[in-house]
């Protein structure tokens, strides 16, 4: 393999992913928005602001100059918040090598367009869809920083690019599987964040394992319903990018979406929860876009609808739960 890998975004997942790439033998240049973060990585091999437990290998270089990171990169990994991707890309596309592979780590849906992240990349960077690879699975960055065993899915319509990325991120602690269902993998990642918000609310309301199992199972059912309407393979939702990520995120106190939901479940407003957490919880904005996408395709997503009402209409989570439970009964 030739050329270094650029990782654009030095947050928690971008940084942990840079470690995986380096441990798999790739040279990596990570772009940080703030020079202070790039300098910390260069001089201390750590990123204390985002991922205190992480120790970065020497193969990882860091810069706050995106052109420097991207120029000459064979693979460019995008790891910024979903809602800023389009703006970020506007400043980056001129530096992309003509046949480079673009990798999306992001788990969200764009608010203004209801596009998945790979669709935003295709539109904003003007690249063919088969140049975009999606990596998605149960991958909480703090656990990966500690080299705890984990698996993921590498999805692309071009199997040779999926294999290139798979080889670039295979390590003794990280096991990637390829898949050609880009739509299913991206939807699994985006919708699980919304369900994790509901799960966090339930936890904070003192609700037990029956309720939690109901949210996970029915959450997966509504994810798959939307996925199938958009052309995904239903089997993808039984895999790592579907059930795997949903269970991992909902179960983990490390999840920022679940934690955000816990704040809402304790009766805090959206603004109070945002002030308390100060982290990217993608589901908070994506729930609006996913609800709109579902309505546009006449798909019922009752949990997503209620999460949107709690987040953006000030509805009490208890009222939202009661609304879920009072829906007309039907076959499973
Ligand atoms: N943290 C995790 O465990 C995982 C995260 N993801 C996904 O990866 C994506 C990135 O997440 P994280 O690295 O966790 O996020 P983060 O919040 O830790 O980092 C985001 C990075 O983007 C940068 N950025 C660039 N432009 C920005 C702007 N205009 N506004 C705000 N930040 C900007 C920030 O400076 C920061 O370095 C998200 O879509 C997330 O859902 C996926 C799997 C695991
Ligand atoms: O996507 C993740 C794990 O797979 C991270 O989840 P949070 O963004 O909720 O922390």
pLDDT in the model for residue 53 = 85
CA–CA gap between residue 50 and residue 52 (Å, rounded):
6
Residue 74 · residue 101 · CB < 8 Å = yes
Q: Of 213, 181, 231, 198, whose CA–CA distance to 323 is shortest? A: 198
Q: Which 3 state secondary structure label does DSSP give 112?
A: coil
What tokens appear for 273 in the block? 């929860």
pLDDT at residue 279 in the model: 80
User: Beta-carbon neighbour count of residue 29 at 10 Å?
Assistant: 23
Asked, for residue 143, whether it belongs to a domain, the answer is yes
Give the number of residues written for the chain. Answer: 332
**Residue 66 included in any domain:** yes
How far does the chain reach from its first CA to its final CA, in angstroms? Answer: 49
Q: Taken in order 156, 159, 160, 162, is the CA torsion positive or negative?
A: positive
Using alpha carbons, select from 103, 101, 78 the residue that is nearest to residue 91: 78
Mark whether 90 and 134 lie in a shared domain.
yes
Q: What is the mean pLDDT of the chain?
A: 97
Q: Which domain holds residue 292?
A: 183-325
Query: Annotation-wise, does 31 bind a ligand?
Result: no
* Domain stop point among 135, 155, 180: 180
Q: What is the pLDDT of residue 278?
A: 85
**CA 143–ligand 2 middle distance (angstroms):** 11
Contact 227, 184 (CB under 8 A): yes
Q: What is the pLDDT of residue 49?
A: 93
**Relative to the alpha carbon of 105, which ligand is closest?**
1
Given the residues 19, 115, 192, 285, select the one marked as catalytic.
192
- Token pair belonging to 160: 């040779």
Q: Tell me: do 70 and 195 sit in the same domain.
A: no
Q: Cβ–Cβ contacts within 10 Å for residue 95, how many?
A: 17
- Structural domains in the chain (count): 2
Domain end marker among 180, 214, 235:
180
177 is in an annotated binding site: no
From the first residue on, what is the mean pLDDT of each consecutive set of 10 residues in the chain (332 residues)?
90 98 98 97 96 95 98 97 98 96 98 98 97 98 98 98 98 98 98 98 98 98 98 98 98 98 97 91 98 98 98 98 97 94
Would you state the pLDDT for residue 1?
Answer: 64
Q: If you measure from the C-alpha of residue 77 to the centroid of ligand 2, how many angstroms do you get, rounded to a whole number?
A: 17
192 is catalytic: yes
Say if residue 158 is in the same domain as residue 237.
no
Same domain, 164 and 89: yes
Asked if residue 141 belongs to a known ligand binding site, the reply is yes
pLDDT at 148: 98
Decide which of 163, 180, 197 is a domain's last residue.
Answer: 180
CATH of the domain at 294: 1.10.1040.10
The Å distance, Cα 83 to ligand 1 centre, comes to 10
Structure tokens at 279: 């982290």
């Amino acid at each position: 393999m030739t050329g270094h890998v650029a990782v654009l975004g030095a947050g928690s997942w971008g940084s942990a992913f840079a470690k995986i790439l380096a441990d798999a033998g790739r040279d990596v240049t990570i772009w940080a928005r703030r020079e202070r973060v790039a300098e910390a990585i260069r001089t201390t091999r750590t990123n204390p602001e985002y991922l205190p437990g992480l120790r970065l290998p020497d193969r990882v270089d860091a810069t706050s100059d995106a052109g420097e990171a991207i120029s000459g990169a064979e693979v460019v990994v995008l790891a910024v918040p979903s809602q800023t991707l389009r703006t970020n890309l506007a400043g980056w596309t001129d530096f992309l090598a003509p046949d480079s592979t673009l990798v999306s780590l992001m788990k969200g849906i764009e608010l203004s367009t209801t596009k998945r992240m790979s669709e935003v990349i295709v539109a904003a960077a003007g690249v063919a869809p088969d140049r975009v690879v999606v990596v998605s699975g149960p991958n909480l960055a703090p656990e990966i920083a500690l080299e705890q065993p984990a698996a993921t899915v590498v999805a692309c319509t071009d199997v040779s690019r999926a294999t290139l990325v798979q080889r670039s991120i295979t390590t003794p602690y990280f096991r990637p599987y390829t898949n050609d269902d880009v739509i299913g993998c991206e939807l699994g990642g985006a919708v699980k964040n919304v369900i994790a918000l509901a799960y966090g609310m339930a936890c904070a309301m003192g609700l037990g394992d029956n309720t939690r199992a109901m949210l996970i199972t029915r959450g997966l059912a509504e994810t798959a319903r939307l996925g199938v309407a958009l052309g995904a393979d239903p089997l993808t939702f039984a895999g790592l990018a579907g059930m795997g990520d949903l269970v991992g995120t909902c179960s983990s106190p490390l999840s920022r979406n679940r934690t955000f939901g816990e704040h809402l479940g304790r009766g805090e407003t959206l603004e109070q929860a945002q002030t308390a957490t100060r982290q990217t919880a993608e589901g908070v904005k994506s729930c609006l876009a996913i609800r709109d996408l579902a309505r546009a395709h006449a798909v019922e997503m009752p949990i997503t609808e209620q999460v949107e009402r709690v987040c953006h209409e000030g509805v009490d989570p208890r009222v939202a739960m009661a609304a879920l439970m009072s829906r007309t009964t039907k076959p499973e």
